[in-house]
Amino acid sequence: MPDPLTGMVADFGLLQHAIEDERLTLDLNKVEALGTPTLKDLSRFDWERPAHLGGLTRASIHHDSCNASCTYCGPHG
């Protein structure tokens, strides 16, 4: 649903910033809440962190070297 003031469905600048912040956090590979993360844990973590931006429906993680992926669609998805 578009914002009544701006008409935007999503502010892609805010989304881009959130994704970059997420990438940097995961690059550090020291997310204590995850322990030794699985693809499922990572996709859930990536779905929860930018949730404040609204409208996020899923987060997918792809591990190219072993051709594996996982998509998290929220606690009720």
Determine if the pTM surpasses 0.85.
Answer: no
Q: Which residues contact 22 (CB under 8 A, 6 or more apart)?
A: 46, 49, 50
Q: Which of 58, 54, 62 lies closest to 73 in space, CA to CA?
A: 58
Tell me the pLDDT tens digit for each residue of 10-67: 677 877 887 788 777 776 566 666 777 788 888 888 888 776 666 678 888 888 888 9
pLDDT at 6 exceeding the cut of 90: no
What pLDDT does 71 receive? 92
**Average of pLDDT values for 1-12?**
72
